Amino acid sequence: MKYSSIKDLYAKVSSELNTLAIIVAVVSLLLAIALPNTVSATHSWNNYHWARQANPFTLKLSSNLSTNWQPYLITASSDWSQSSVLDTVAVTGTKNPKTCKPTLGQAEICNASYGRNGWLGLAQIWISGSHITQGAVKMNDTYMSKAPYNTVAEKNHVMCQEVGHIFGLGHQDESGADLGTCMDYSMSTNSQRPNPHDYEQLQQIYNHLDSTTSVGAIVNTDAASDSSDLNSSQNWGRRVFRSKSGFVEVYERTYKDGSKLISLVNLADHQ
């Protein structure tokens, strides 16, 4: 393109700069609208949730814990019960913590030395449709009884997170960043409890009501009647997720009737 004078060239360039300025302004505006959504991104796990006909619902956390672990469940139970949609009650369990066999309609909470199997904590939920029918949490003392995990902060962190998974919550972050919630992977002492975003997420997950209930109820499925050794990753089905950080793995096993076992693994030795 040829310009007859410097003045013409100047006019052309300045009009193009104006166009560019408008584009920049529009793009920034769009980003400003889009970014808050990214920050408050959902951390529900596939929208899995307990079926219930009213809120708040009360979920039994059945404790098969040794005496030293019990206070951590009491803390997690009372923290999560701050949610407006759910309450939890810790009750005395009757299960062998080594196998921690699940019970329909509630969660079994266990600790034992499960061996050097790679997992610090394991949360398992059994799914029918998108409804959770039972849950189990296992804290692995093989790792948790040693540094860097044998601290009050880490025990609160892992207990709070594994129990959070039983409601259908995923992680807020898996990089190790400190988001001030037990649903992150930071070793910071800020990560011992839920934060407001976790309660918001629970509100979203449980915003609707169902026509059936799986809380305290018997919902029989093929998944729930699987009697294989569920401590073994060989019985967890397909690995569907592994975080870049190597902190998290998720396995999914689908049964004949479409019901599922979901295993969320909190990996040890990642530091």
Residues at the interface with Zn ion (CB under 5 A): 161, 210, 266
Render the burial of 233-257: b for 16+ CB within 10 Å, e for the rest: beebbeeeeebeeebbbbbbbebee
Question: In the complex with Zn ion, which residue's Cβ is closer, 161 or 172?
Answer: 161
Q: Which residues pair with 62 in a beta bridge?
A: 91, 108
Q: How far is CA 5 from CA 2, 10, 14, 19, 180, in A?
A: 9, 9, 14, 22, 62
| Residues contacting residue 37 through CB under 8 Å, at least 6 positions apart | none
Question: In the complex with Zn ion, which residue's Cβ is closer, 50 or 69?
Answer: 50
Question: In the complex with Zn ion, which residue's Cβ is closer, 64 or 161?
Answer: 161
Question: In the complex with Zn ion, which residue's Cβ is closer, 31 or 57?
Answer: 57
Least gap, CB of 13 to Zn ion (angstroms):
55
Least gap, CB of 25 to Zn ion (angstroms):
41
Question: In the complex with Zn ion, which residue's Cβ is closer, 87 or 210?
Answer: 210
Residue 181 CA to residue 163 CA, distance in Å, equals 13
Residue 216 CA to residue 107 CA, distance in Å, equals 10
Residue 133 CA to residue 141 CA, distance in Å, equals 27
Q: Which residues pair with 59 in a beta bridge?
A: 88
Question: In the complex with Zn ion, which residue's Cβ is closer, 64 or 266?
Answer: 266
Token pair for 128: 């029918």
Q: Which residues pair with 250 in a beta bridge?
A: 241, 264
Least gap, CB of 70 to Zn ion (angstroms):
21
Least gap, CB of 171 to Zn ion (angstroms):
6
Residue nearest to Zn ion (CB): 210
Q: Which amino acid is at 190?
A: N
The 3-state DSSP class for residue 27 equals: helix
Least gap, CB of 264 to Zn ion (angstroms):
5
Least gap, CB of 109 to Zn ion (angstroms):
15
Question: In the complex with Zn ion, which residue's Cβ is closer, 21 or 246?
Answer: 246
Ramachandran region of residue 85, left (φ > 0), alpha (ψ -120 to 50) or beta? alpha
The 3-state DSSP class for residue 57 equals: strand
Least gap, CB of 129 to Zn ion (angstroms):
8
